[in-house]
Chains A and B, each alone.
Chain A
Amino acid sequence: MKKTVSGWGRYPVMEAEVRELLPGSTPALPEEGVIARGLGRSYGDSALADTLYRTLPRNRMLDFDGERGELHCEAGVSFAELLRVFVPRGWFPPVTAGTKHITVGGAIASDVHGKNHHRDGCFSDYVRELTLLGPGGEIFACSREENPELFHATCGGMGLTGIILEARMRMRPIGSSKLDVMTLKAENLEEIFRLMEEYGDWPYSVAWLDCMAGGRKLGRSLLMAGRFREDGRLDYTEKAAPGIPFTLPGFLLNRGTVSAFNALYYHRVRGKRTSGIQDIHSFFYPLDIISNWNRIYGRQGFLQYQFVLPKENSYEGMKSVLEEISASGMGSFLSVLKLMGPENDNFLSFPLEGYTLALDFKVQPGLFDFLDGLDCLVADLGGRIYLTKDARMSSGIFEEGYPGLQRFREVRNSYGMAGCFESEQSRRLEI
């Protein structure tokens, strides 16, 4: 069935044939232009293709080893389901994205990182093995021992090595569903960098940054550091998320409103250093509180822009990027700054030891040129841009940022996947 689809950023939009990956059957895949799609939370064009296979019908939990916390499940299981089932039993996903509305398959394909990357790495670091549906309907099992090249291509491989069917992964034991959270106010970029290092031994940390502030206030932000409590409370209830009933007119988000929001957000926190207790929802998934917040950006949609810079260039680099943004007035609603730990062995995994900043921009005239400029800055500093959020970078910038690309291509070719699995993104980036 033909449907109009887009990523979470609502840009770009295309017509695609949408099929269901039903349980218990092996579909005959078309020869080209196929990509798996779960909950559609990739922002740009990485889950857009001529033919989309919806993986959600395959969402069964097949085995759980309560001693080791190892779960074997189908790839369509969502993080929301994981939380519902496992938090009350004292287990939590080892790494989680900023929304619970993603699938296990998507988390592997994006090799998602979380607020604990500096300590714990990426999601795939906890995946022991997975199975993939290949172009001819064959099923590949892969792990670090079996088909290791395919494993490292698939983790972070944006679905370009086949449809992920199942995974075996380790969950993390938790002693509470509540976290102790320390919130610290940083006046500027220098201070936030210092604080992030200082609180680097907290398991979870993230900073919300006001990227409209310039001058002496450049980089003013709130650092939130969290760790699970040990009080044995494992209650978990999902609050119903109110939705934005319709797409808001785009003009609502402009320099004035964004600045006001950011200032308000920053000044909401009174003390220099406050501590409190938060639940899983408010600490890990604040944006899930509004079910379709992407509608606030209007019909044109928005772009997410997340890049990482190697540590040695991080401070100066972030400073230049923030100066550009502050001067452009393109304004991001909220920006997120995070410390990242060492990179892993996956060919296209995003994280790099250093700092990452995620921003969102309403699609508006001049934005694409502006971001092209930022791309060059990021590339010159030895950084890279996150594929899960990208909808527009050039193949040159991509190639420069991802030295594992050549090996990725070789693996795809050797398994005959290159023709079959491709997204709008992989075509644009000439992957």
Chain B
Amino acid sequence: MHILILGGNSDIGLAIARTYAEKEGASLTLASRDTGELERNASDLSIRYGVEVDTVRFDACDFDAHRDFYKQLENRPDGVVLAFGYNGDQERAQADAEEQRTIIETNFLGAASILRVVAEDFEVRANRDGESLFIIGLSSVAGERGRKANYVYGSSKAGLSAYLSGLRQRLAPQGIQVVTVKPGYVDTKMTAGMDLPGPLVLSPDKVARKTYSAWKRGKSVTYVTWYWRVIITLVKMVPERLFKRLEI
């Protein structure tokens, strides 16, 4: 099994890479912008798990290059994990058009752009060779309902969730599994220094374990923890008239 990790320097992407290397003996391609860091992460994975790991530069926002990036991969992936993302700063995004655009471009347009290419390839290969292929997309509970605290990030993830949902339906007949992972707060580089609600914070390893088991059991969407699912269900139930006035 060969897996392509898009966002190969991200904490969650790496945790998923470790899980597949350990449990499936999967070989890996790590893709990200910072190739120096990628090399270090690749060495670590190959020493720890004795699997082949290669690296390739990938920029989520360089949409025009995505087709070539994918075509030129040395190893055809059986699974693609979309783990890149940009949290950004909500307040800055309100004042600064550039910040808002970067958040949406990275999380939604970037994801949609590369997933289109992946889906095209997977569809052909599944039809032709009957390979068992899969896509795992890291979305977020923040995409479930826009809140003033992070609606730019949230809406970009909402877009991604909808995109993955449609893709799942499209690819299901070919037996291609699409898993949407919706974590709550995770203790990562992205959230370092943020004031997080301690007990609700997950580790990247926990997200990876949950993702792996969702994939293994053929699930479509996983909320990572049951309590986030409960919280989100409650948040979604609040009528808009009341929601407007809430400080959540």
- Hey, which bits of chain A sit against chain B, CB under 8 A? 1, 19-20, 22-24, 57, 60-64, 74, 81, 85
Contact = CB atoms under 8 A, between A and B. Distances in A.
Given A20-B192, A22-B189, A24-B9, A85 B47 contact: yes
A61 B189 contact: no
Contacts of B189: 22-23, 57
B41 A60 contact: yes
Interface stretch (B32-40, B89-97, B211-219): B32-40
A146 to B, nearest CB: 22
B50 to A, nearest CB: 9
B193 interface: yes
B44 interface: yes
Nearest to A71: B47
Interface string B198-230: 000000000000000000000000000000000
A64 B37 contact: no
Contact of B43 (A20, A22, A24, A61): A61
B48 interface: yes
B55 to A, nearest CB: 13
Interface of B: 9, 34, 36-37, 40-41, 43-44, 47-48, 189, 192-193, 195
Given A22-B189, A22-B192, A85 B37 contact: no
A24 B35 CA distance: 11
A60 B192 contact: no
B48 A85 contact: yes
A81 B189 CA distance: 21
B192 A63 contact: no
Nearest to A84: B48
B214 to A, nearest CB: 24
B36 A60 contact: no
A23 B40 contact: yes
Contacts of B36: 24
6 contacts: A23-B37, A23-B40, A24-B9, A24-B36, A57-B189, A81-B48
A24 B34 contact: yes
A74 B48 CA distance: 13
B204 to A, nearest CB: 11
B192 A61 contact: no
Nearest to A24: B37
Contacts of A20: 192-193
Given A64-B47, A74-B40, 10 more contacts: A1-B193, A1-B195, A23-B9, A23-B40, A57-B189, A61-B47, A61-B48, A63-B43, A81-B48, A85-B48
A57 B34 CA distance: 17
Q: Which 8 A-B pairs have the closest CB atoms?
A: A60-B44, A61-B47, A24-B37, A62-B43, A61-B44, A64-B47, A60-B40, A20-B192
Nearest to B187: A20
Contacts of B193: 1, 19-20
A276 B196 CA distance: 50
B97 to A, nearest CB: 27
A19 B192 CA distance: 9
Nearest to B38: A24
B107 to A, nearest CB: 21
A24 B38 CA distance: 10
B40 A62 contact: yes
A24 B9 CA distance: 10
A240 to B, nearest CB: 15
Nearest to A72: B43
A196 B160 CA distance: 67
A205 to B, nearest CB: 32
Contacts of A19: 193
A51 to B, nearest CB: 13
A422 B19 CA distance: 39
Contacts of A24: 9, 34, 36-37
A74 B47 CA distance: 13
Residue of B9, B34, B37, B40 ringed by the most chain A CB atoms within 10 A? B40
A94 B35 CA distance: 33
A1 B43 CA distance: 32
A57 B41 CA distance: 12
A372 to B, nearest CB: 40
B48 to A, nearest CB: 5
Contacts of A64: 47
A62 B44 contact: yes
A360 B167 CA distance: 62
A62 B47 CA distance: 8
Contacts of B44: 60-62
A195 B36 CA distance: 54
Given A22-B189, A22-B192, A85-B48, A60 B34 contact: no
Contacts of B37: 23-24
A64 B37 CA distance: 18
Residue of A19, A24, A63, A81 ringed by the most chain B CB atoms within 10 A? A24
Nearest to B195: A1
A20 to B, nearest CB: 5
Given A20-B192, A24-B34, A60 B43 contact: yes
A24 B189 CA distance: 11
A1 B198 CA distance: 12
Contacts of A62: 40, 43-44, 47
A20 B41 CA distance: 18
Contacts of B40: 23, 60, 62, 74
